[in-house]
Structure 1
Amino acid sequence: MTSSDPHPHLTSLRRDGYVILRSLLTPLEITSLRAAAADLTSTARAGGWPHVRTVGKQFPPWDASLVPSQAGIWGVQHLLHPDLPVSDDAGGGRGAFARVYFHPKLLRVARELLSIPPPEADEADDGAMTMELFNMLVQPTGVGVDPTTPFALRWHRDDIPWTATPEEELAHLQPPYSSSPSGSSPKKYTHTQYNLPLYPDTSLIVIPSSHTRARTPTERAADPYEANLPGQITVSLEPGDVVFYDNNILHRGVYDVSRERMTLHGSVGHVDAKEGRARNVLQHGVGGWVGRCDFGVLGGEDLEEGKGQRGVAEGMRRRLVELGRENEGRDVGFSLEG
């Protein structure tokens, strides 16, 4: 039975706060990414890559000088950074990460969720998508990690402080979902965020539809690490699956430290987001290196016309550079503390 909804993924995202797509990547793509991810994770755990998320701190900024003598890591930042090595293997290194971030299948879904009409060609720059963040969530190891206890992150919304009042929460949450008096469609998303695991992953826990409302009294009174909140579900993903989710859905992470985890964690923005996305994106420090990016690892030379995977990448990169310029000299601060 065929759905009459022309945008089923967007409908699910608006209703539930998340949408799962199965088998977005092929087994060959997953194999290539696992090799690149393992190399980078090993380097980062040894203190050889300074852009990491350290155990004991959930939100930026993180202090890489603590690794590895004083802290382990639970994430690796900036998979598109120009200083990330490109493997001699054509399928590995920074090239493998760039190929998946700008993957036509992934960007096709992102366009739908951002309400961007498809371009004339599938691999063509639409002039609207903006490069944002691309990181990796990994199995915590090392100092500060108890191998007998799951590694847990606390309940949060990515861009709303836990101290927000119900009125403040609603001020952030309502606009994307409320309709105008004329009954027109809900307002558009300005970005979309996703997790794409390279190994089976059950780490993400969400409360469906919580992105449309303020916290309930029970949620507000709960311990930040409460193991069971009413309505919560565990998002179960296989390698190559992807879950797109509203970053203001109530969610947390719980890692089984005995299992391998390498989950690509990215976001794509809309050019119209402007100041609304500056803090979320620039707080991670991407403005310090995106101007040096060269996506020659993607091949192709048709940059001016924005064709091919490299042309799409360059167009998205330019719009992120512009976001940085528009906020140059401005302290965008941090979304959350802790």
Structure 2
Amino acid sequence: MSEPTPLTPANELRASLTRDGFVRIPNAFSPSDLARFRTAAQHATARARAGEWPFVRTVPKQFPPWPHLLHPSMPAADRKVFAESYFGDVMVGAVTALLDCRRDDLVMELYNMLVCPPKDFALRWHRDDIGPDVPADVELERLGEPMMHAQWNLALYPDSSLVVVPGSHRRSRTEQERKADPYEDEMPGQVKVSMEAGDIVFYNNNILHRGVYDCKAERLTLHGTMGLSGADPARSRNILQHGIGDWAAECDFDCLPGHMATLATGMQRRLIGMGTGKEVGFSQQD
């Protein structure tokens, strides 16, 4: 499996994501950017652990809703840094390359942070938007739908928590995969995705995957998605189920540099156009 760089042609990035279901872009951010992102992430983590930031997801919860780093109640200085990491040229350039789209096609979606839990913990094997009881023919049909979003992990410290089965986003589960224990430690063909600080891994959210977390590891990983305008109602549910429609209109991006603020405001407007998400239900539940 290839390991593209930020200079890798867009068609190679897309080919890797299409073939394997994930692609790693190493050293995407400079040391100075990483230092800023880490500081904001450390502040947010400290506030959450002190009970001063209520929008958290705690173990053993696996499925939505997720918190959001751009929530208006996030302190302004840190929210600005998170916004720059999300709407900045590096991330947006990678997303538009992978989705083969224009910047004006993008929709603001989700952004949260994955941190080290207080004890070792693992998620069960899953596809984000296809439940485990879906029949094989329906599963294959769903997997064949066009990709209308990009999903990523941005590691601020080395991170090997993501485990995937390469290629499983292009096929229904095998009989062995269907019958496996949801917490199976050795799924056939699995790969542990190792990231260094500053790496971004983009992955198809319906690849068969899980997270396995070592409580002794230092971990701050920014986890986000961006979508394309015109996505179907299922994608709207997948995003709005997290409650983002309740507060998205309150976000103010005037603190960002001019071109970034313009992009962010446009992406915000397209998100708001999806609706509030009242009573959309959940794709999956714990």
Identity level (%): 50
What runs of 5+ residues in structure 2 fail to find an aligned partner?
A: 1-6
What runs of 5+ residues in structure 1 fail to find an aligned partner?
A: 62-75, 88-92, 118-125, 177-188, 301-307
Q: C-alpha deviations, 1:245-296, integer Å up to 9, x for none? A: 0000000000110011110000000002141311110111111111000012
**1:234 alignment counterpart:** 192
> Quick one: distance in 2 between partners of 1:34 and 1:248?
29
2:111 is the alignment partner of 1:134: yes
2:99 is the alignment partner of 1:114: yes
**Secondary structure of the corresponding residue to residue 167 of structure 1:** helix
2:85 is the alignment partner of 1:85: no
Offset at residue 48 of structure 1 (A):
1.5
Offset at residue 5 of structure 1 (A):
6.8
**Secondary structure of the corresponding residue to residue 111 of structure 1:** helix
Please show how residues 1-338 of structure 1 align to structure 2 within 5 Å. Answer: 7-61=11-65, 77-87=67-77, 93-117=78-102, 126-141=103-118, 145=119, 150-176=120-146, 189-300=147-258, 308-324=259-275, 329=278, 331-338=279-286
The RMSD of aligned alpha carbons is 1.7
- Measured at CA, do residues 103 and 4 of structure 1 come closer, stay the same or move farther in structure 2, by a change above 3 Å? closer
Q: Given that residues 274 and 323 in structure 1 are in contact (C-alpha distance below 8 angstroms), is that contact kept between their aligned partners in structure 2?
A: no
**Secondary structure of the corresponding residue to residue 76 of structure 2:** coil
Structure label with greater radius of gyration: 1
Offset at residue 127 of structure 1 (A):
2.2
Identify the range of structure 1 (36-45 vs 76-85) with the bigger mean alpha-carbon deviation: 76-85
> Quick one: distance in 1 between partners of 2:10 and 2:127?
29
> Quick one: distance in 2 between partners of 1:60 and 1:174?
24
Aligned amino acid, residue 280 of structure 2 = V
Offset at residue 175 of structure 1 (A):
3.1
Q: C-alpha deviations, 1:161-207, integer Å up to 9, x for none? A: 1111111211211233xxxxxxxxxxxx2101000010000000000
Offset at residue 112 of structure 1 (A):
1.8
Offset at residue 114 of structure 1 (A):
1.7
Tell me the number of residue pairs that the alignment of Structure 1 and Structure 2 aligns.
280
- Runs of 4+ that moved beyond 4 A: 3-6
Q: Given that residues 69 and 113 in structure 2 are in contact (C-alpha distance below 8 angstroms), is that contact kept between their aligned partners in structure 1?
A: yes
Q: C-alpha deviations, 1:61-109, integer Å up to 9, x for none? A: 4xxxxxxxxxxxxxx721111111023xxxxx11110000011111111
**Secondary structure of the corresponding residue to residue 57 of structure 1:** coil
Offset at residue 17 of structure 1 (A):
0.4
Offset at residue 28 of structure 1 (A):
0.6
> Quick one: distance in 2 between partners of 1:34 and 1:112?
26
